[in-house]
Amino acid sequence: MTVRLPQAGGALTPGTRAPASLPPADLHGLDPAFSRVVHAREADASVDRSWHVLDNAGRLADLGVKPVGTILCVHGNPTWSYLWRKLVSQATDAAAAGGDAWRVIAIDQLDMGFSERTGTRRSLARRVRDLGELTDALALDGPVLTLGHDWGGVVSLGWAVDHPDLLAGVMLLNTAVHQPEGRPIPVPLRLALQPGVLGGATVTTPAFLETTLALAHPPLPASIKDGYRAPYRGAGRRGGIGGFVADIPVDLEHESRAELDRIAESVATLRVPALMLWGPRDPIFSDRYLDDLIDRMPHADVHRFEDAGHLVAEDVDYAAAVLTWLGDSIRSAERPRSAAAEPARPPLWRYLDDLRDSDESAVIDMVPPSGPAPRVVSWRLLSKRVRQIASGLVSIGVKKGDRVSLLIPPSADLVAVLYACLRIGAIVVVADAGLGLKGLTRAVRGACADHVIGALPGLTAARALGWPGQKISTTTLAGPARRALGVSFSLAQLASLGSDEELPEPPTADDVAAVLFTSGSTGPAKGVVYTHGQLSAVRDALAAQYGVGVGTGLVAGFAPFALLGPALGARSVTPDMDVTSPKTLTATAVAAAVKAVDATVVFLSPAAVANVVATSAALSAADHDALAGVEQFLSAGAPVSEPMLAAIAALMPSATAHTPYGMTEGLLMTDITLDGIREAASTSGTGGVCVGTPSGQTRVRISPLDADGAATGELTDAALVTGEILVSAPHVEDHYDRLWLTHRASRRGGVPGERWHRTGDVGHLDAAGRLWVEGRMPHVLVTADGVVTPVKPELQAEVVGSVQRAAIVGVGPRGVQQVVAVVETTPGARRVALAPPELAAAVRAAVDVPLAAVLVVPRLPTDIRHNSKINRSALSAWAEGILAGGRMVAP
């Protein structure tokens, strides 16, 4: 289809002819010294075209430096080279400071910005040739890296695939190279293409331009909006905007469709380094276009800026990200591996094969889908169901590398689906329902799942919130419900389709196995990528540390360990609880789960532990007898106090109580027992929470804090040095999913060739090699007297008899922050208030840092998933408002 433009300024073309010109000298943020006009021959029309470009070559020459390469920047619609002004300036400043010298050429496409108004239609193929003719006129030589945004991304990639001899890499901001047949183009573009709308929205009025400028997060200042408006004042100057919209290939017959398809197919053959910086709040180029680009260039480094949108170049410091990537020597997506060869490990489904003929119990559902009695699933049945579902998934087109989002509560169904996906090499995406709908939506959309397998509540949310992926239900739904939820298949149908149990070749240890989302306690939840080999290493670490293996009965009140049960050969059960709220777990529910699997190992979250202790009076004599058979008790995910660990240990008198230290990025990093905690407290006064010594092959190092509270020091294992905690082990995660900058920061300062992870926790090692956690890096205070970490003074405050919990936060500018204690008391306070003089004096006497104030609250705020973790960041902002005279309302 060809969309014809209406009259614009009296012409039937996208614009009247006018030569290129220079922008006004007073545009915000744009140095006029970078602007110049370049003439290039349009071969098939035998005319010269005049282009406006930003080019820092002259400034680099003045500095006497030779460029190491060229960044060729191509804007989209309706922007112009002004979009790239920050990169031109920052690259030049970096060269002046002695860094790598990158020449940056940012063009105005013809009919756009301050380049020539040609008076002719320009298709996609024509624009790709235009750019080649310009670079020929510039006598551009390699190495060249392209950088494109919006439809400039397509044009830049067209140039890239046509100039392999010059190309050194490709970089993209939000764009697309493929519009799937049968899928509608984005709504804003559909509206702009409506008959009677196109000309008025794009040419006659500046509506399209103004709508685009309104997509920034946060809103653009008026001065920057004026910069973007500068070349488009008047309908006669806006013909190119309408021409670009009209050139969108909306169907197979569109004249630019063939060129778009050519570029899309050719991009998949590129083997040069690639970088994609993305704003997921884009109503035009959504995450599905990013997913398509990643499929074509799986080696690309990708970073999604969670709060950015279409104008990602304005929303975030993209220029610093680009220069950082280039400074890493245009690194590829190869992740650092340990220099030592990893041992071959059995696959995660090993025991599903080894025990396939066993009628012993494998998984027990305490809350089965139907009926009041627990559902017992044998190894024989579980193994068969995993093979059938795996084969069924293959039969409906699920393949190795596809992402499958699992929205299933802990159950035998979840176990079967998880291992079926792993067996065929599909990548499981697991996000805790405790993230809430907003957090789950961020996670599922950000992971770009190809398929969603869920129970009814998850599928309902997926439909209502527009989560991507083919939908598969755990239960068989009636026709109307199936259609309403967009469900294609049920698990029963998959098992039937896979009755032959034919399976593809299994994935390798280096293939990606899972994307597991963090709790979101320090910002938006992050997807943590594990390979099959790394998940197998997690299993092996758990088995070695706690002796969990074939025949072990495992009660898992913590989802990751429920899923690892079959990988260990253990009988596993999740107790009757609301998995989104661990504090709903009762003591009697734990006892029932212990009885169901004759458990010797129990794993609960700290929030669950508190409620189990609180409800222990309801335990019967038979319950106590069952709990007396437990041999190992574990609680991790947040610090567990010695009194709380002692209280739960008293309910399991034969068990050794452990509190492992770890995180989603690396489970089971260190371990300590209750007796070990007591010994550490009696022999060391170093402060913080002691989490024990490294487990298995784990190594722990500290990056010391500087005077500004930043972890800048060289890694050390010296005693009593406070800094950020780094860990290394075979079971540390591979990387963060589509968060290249975050991943890079998490590896900063590690040993080259080894996989080290910055935990974001602050702490120290003592003389016995035990690790002490003193808080989170974002919560470190910098006062006029020096750096203060929060956990030690919090524990000191909690020694005061009436203080149940305490939080230490800072108010005021960093460097001169004032320390404030916020406390919960026993009995609880009814309202927010300054602490009574006696209590304030007692807290000040107990804490060894000066306190500006002591505030009493009915309840301290906790993070969204770990009910035992205090949200210190929110509390700090709240306390600052209170002390500045704000209302005494609860945080």
What is the C-alpha separation between 862 and 867, in angstroms, rounded?
5
Percent of the chain's residues with pLDDT above 90: 70
Residue with tokens 């170049």: 313
CA 565 to the chain's CA centroid? 26
Residue with tokens 């602490």: 835
Give the CA-trace dihedral at 204, 207, 208, 211, to 10 degrees.
Answer: 170
Q: What fold does the segment set 664-729+746-777 form as a domain? A: Luciferase; domain 3 (2.30.38)
Residue 60 token pair: 């680099």
Could you read off the pLDDT of 287-296 as tens digits, one per residue?
889 999 999 9
Distances in Å between the Cα of 694 and the Cα atoms of 125, 366, 724, 729, 766 are 59, 34, 16, 10, 13
Three-class secondary structure assignment of 431-477 = CCHHHHHHHHHHHHHHHCCCEEEECHHHHHHHHHHCCCCEEEECCCC
Distances in Å between the Cα of 479 and the Cα atoms of 389, 456, 489 are 22, 14, 11
Average pLDDT on 131-138 reads: 97
What is the residue extent of each domain of the chain?
Answer: 32-183+258-327, 350-533, 664-729+746-777, 780-883
Per the CB < 8 A criterion, the answer to whether 48 and 122 are in contact is: no
The reply to whether 32-183+258-327 and 350-533 are identical in fold is yes
Tell me what pLDDT residue 509 has.
Answer: 95
Three-class secondary structure assignment of 641-694 = CHHHHHHHHHHCCCCEEECCEEECCEEEEEECEHHHHHHHHHHCCCCCEEEEEE
Average pLDDT on 107-124 reads: 95
Cα dihedral sign, 744-749-755-761:
negative
> Closest Cα partner for 769 from 721, 808, 830?
721
Which residue type sits at 135? T
**Who has greater pLDDT, 201 or 356?**
356
Three-class secondary structure assignment of 288-336 = HHHHHHHHHCCCCEEEECCCCCCCHHHHCCHHHHHHHHHHCCCCCCCCC
CA 94 to the chain's CA centroid? 29
Which range is least confidently modeled, 94-103, 106-115, 634-643? 634-643
Q: Is the pLDDT of residue 685 over 70?
A: no
In the CATH scheme, what is the code of domain 780-883? 3.30.300.30
DSSP letter for 716, please. Answer: B
Q: Is the pLDDT of residue 402 over 50?
A: yes
> Closest Cα partner for 684 from 771, 619, 809, 793?
771
Q: Is the pLDDT of residue 817 over 80?
A: yes
**Who has greater pLDDT, 521 or 655?**
655
Residue 317 token pair: 């410091």
Q: Is the pLDDT of residue 162 over 80?
A: yes
Residues in the chain: 891
Q: Going by C-beta distance under 8 Å and a sequence separation of 6 or more, which residues neighbour residue 51? A: 20, 37, 38, 39, 40, 107, 108, 110, 115, 116, 134
Tell me what pLDDT residue 395 has.
Answer: 96
Q: What is the pTM of this model?
A: 0.89
What is the C-alpha separation between 571 and 414, in angstroms, rounded?
15
Domain 32-183+258-327 has CATH 3.40.50.150: no
Q: What fold does the segment set 350-533 form as a domain? A: Rossmann fold (3.40.50)
**Which parts of 697-755 are beta strand (E)?**
699-704, 723-728, 735-736
Strand partners, 634: 603, 658
Q: How many CA atoms lie within 13 A of 123 on its CB side?
A: 13
Q: Before 827, cis peptide (omega within 30)?
A: yes
Which residue type sits at 108? D
Tell me what pLDDT residue 523 has.
Answer: 65
Give the CA-trace dihedral at 528, 529, 532, 537, to 10 degrees.
Answer: -40
Kindly indicate the confidence band of residue 862, based on its pLDDT and cuts at 50, 70 and 90.
low
Per the CB < 8 A criterion, the answer to whether 794 and 807 are in contact is: yes
Provide the 10 A C-beta neighbour count for residue 93: 13
Q: Is the pLDDT of residue 240 over 80?
A: yes
Average pLDDT, the chain: 89
What is the C-alpha separation between 835 and 421, in angstroms, rounded?
55
Could you read off the pLDDT of 446-491 as tens digits, one per residue?
888 999 999 998 899 888 888 888 999 999 999 999 999 999 999 9
> Closest Cα partner for 432 from 575, 534, 308, 579?
579
Distances in Å between the Cα of 784 and the Cα atoms of 668, 787, 818 are 37, 8, 8
Angle between helices 318-327 and 85-96 (to 10 degrees): 40
Strand partners, 35: 54
Cα dihedral sign, 782-786-792-797:
negative
Kindly indicate the confidence band of residue 1, based on its pLDDT and cuts at 50, 70 and 90.
very low
